A and B are shown apart, each in its own frame.
Chain A
Amino acid sequence: MGHNILIVDDNIYFSRLLASQLTRLGYVVRVMANHEELLNLLSSDHYDLLIMELLLNGQDGLSLLRSIRCSPYSYLPILVVSHRSGYVDQLRVAEFDAHFLSKPVDLTQLFKTVLIMLKKESPVGISL
């Protein structure tokens, strides 16, 4: 069975595309459009990676990062894929020990990053 990945992004088109491509690569993916229930979800299910946007319907993604890092799930690897791509945002994301990719994003680069973060070869052996 593949790794569990959670995607939090209010751009449902983008997250659905990402989910379908990652599912094709053998991962088990769940998509959320906002982070209201995120901590509850993390407590009920196990996830190996969180992919998230910083701009979530006016909610602050950086506070979400802080609350995850202050929660029992602080170990969770996080990949931020965001339109907010300023130097300061990238520094703040790095301070929370998360990896950053700015939008627009190259899907191949994104999948490579996911692969490296999960430290595992692609489950179905698709070369990227």
Chain B
Amino acid sequence: MIIPILTLIVLCVFVLTGLIFLSILRLRFKFKKDNYHRKQAFAKMETFLLSLFAEEILPYQWAVRIPAHELGYLQEFLLPYLESLKGESFEKLVAVAHYSGLVKRLLQEANSAKDWEQAQAIYFLGLIREPQVLPLLQTGLDSDNMFWFYPSVIALARNDLQNLPRVLEALRNRSDWTEHLGVSIFAEMGEEVCPALLTALSKGETSPKIERLALAVLAHFGYQGAEAILKEYILYSKDHELQIRALRAWNQLKLTFFEGIASAMKNPDWEIRAAAVTALSSSGAVDQALLARPLLRDSNWWVRLRAAQTMLNLSPREELHIMLDNPLEDRYAKDMLRYILTREGGATCVIPTIHVL
């Protein structure tokens, strides 16, 4: 009795192993086949793309040659080009997406219950600024589902500057976004977003996270009109993070020196002192170089480092050597000066002036 049962078990194991093996083989074959079709479709599309840009064919002529089952490949194929191009070339590709029926299909997928499919559809439609997707994006902003929220907010930002208050409100109401993501969202809107952000800050923005983001965006675009608001933050903000951001933005914009920087250099917070002395350096105020000298003796290593870099940028080299030779000079200050001079010497590289344009 036991022997037939054992034989049966062994047989079952054999059959199961065989079935698993066959499934793996089938999956592998399917994957290879898909990959082969994908490669074929991509090669064909690349030929059409080159002909399109060489003005040998029109978007419509390419679109009609795309079978319905290759629309997924077309979506994948067009994406890197749409992300990298603008102007006439971009419009041509958008026309291909419309004529081929891809946009129509993506509008259906944007309402799909599958998160990933929906996110991809929304991202693509936002990228090509498809107006029909706008109502859906507004709903996406209120969604807790990050697969819907992120592509919606990026797509909305890309579509129109008028959506700025809505995007700001959405970001204000949630905490699961990083500053990096925030900056990239506004970078999509272009420099035109800066005056609107400035207005939001002047009207007394209530969320410190939005304030930090706005300062980072103004610095990202190098918006010169931000000078007055940055001064206000450096002088009067009670939030040390915002003061630091404002000083960093001042440094990035290479704005000229003002008294607020000197006051910030005396702040008890070391990060503010470090940011302030860096802002002094980028302001190029040679006549204010001596202000950095006391910070060479600061208790914090980073502040001493930034002060030494500032001295190096703003003071004559001989003055630094006189300080190094002075036996009464602070030991830590001398160590930092020596370090910065050695480091600067090692990384020297003469960049030729070519004047290519």
Contacts and interface: CB of A to CB of B under 8 A. Distances in A.
A97 B83 contact: no
Contacts of B77: 13
Majority secondary structure, A binding face: helix
A113 B357 CA distance: 8
B220 A87 contact: yes
B31 interface: no
Given A11-B84, A17-B50, A77-B356, A85 B187 contact: yes
Interface string A31-73: 0000000000000000000000000000000000010011000
A20 to B, nearest CB: 5
B89 A106 contact: yes
B301 to A, nearest CB: 24
A106 B86 contact: yes
A60 B221 CA distance: 21
Interface string A93-128: 001111100011111110001001100000000000
B86 A99 contact: no
B84 A103 contact: yes
Interface in B36-90: 46, 49-50, 53-54, 77, 80-90
A10 B318 CA distance: 46
Contacts of B349: 66, 69-70
Nearest to B351: A69
B53 A21 contact: yes
A90 B219 CA distance: 12
B2 interface: no
A77 B253 CA distance: 26
B252 interface: yes
Interface residues of B, number: 34
A105 B80 contact: no
Given A11-B80, A117-B357, A87 B252 contact: yes
A105 B80 CA distance: 12
Contacts, number: 91
A88 B354 contact: no
Majority secondary structure, B binding face: helix
Nearest to B80: A13
Given A24-B54, A85-B187, A109-B87, A17 B219 contact: no
A86 B82 CA distance: 20
Interface string B203-226: 000000000000000011110000
B89 A75 contact: no
A76 to B, nearest CB: 8
Q: Which of A17, A74, A108, A117 has the most CB of B within 10 A?
A: A17
Nearest to A106: B87
B352 A69 contact: yes
Contacts of B84: 11, 14, 83, 103-105
A66 B254 CA distance: 22
Nearest to A74: B352
Given A104-B84, A104-B90, A107-B89, 6 more contacts: A17-B81, A74-B350, A87-B222, A105-B85, A106-B89, A117-B357
15 contacts: A14-B81, A17-B49, A21-B54, A69-B349, A74-B351, A74-B352, A83-B83, A86-B222, A87-B222, A95-B351, A97-B352, A103-B84, A105-B86, A106-B85, A107-B89
Interface of A: 11, 13-14, 16-17, 20-21, 24, 66, 69-70, 74-75, 77, 83, 85-88, 90-91, 95-99, 103-109, 113, 116-117
Chain A to chain B: the 8 pairs with minimum beta-carbon distance, closest first: A87-B222, A106-B87, A104-B86, A70-B349, A77-B356, A86-B220, A14-B84, A13-B80
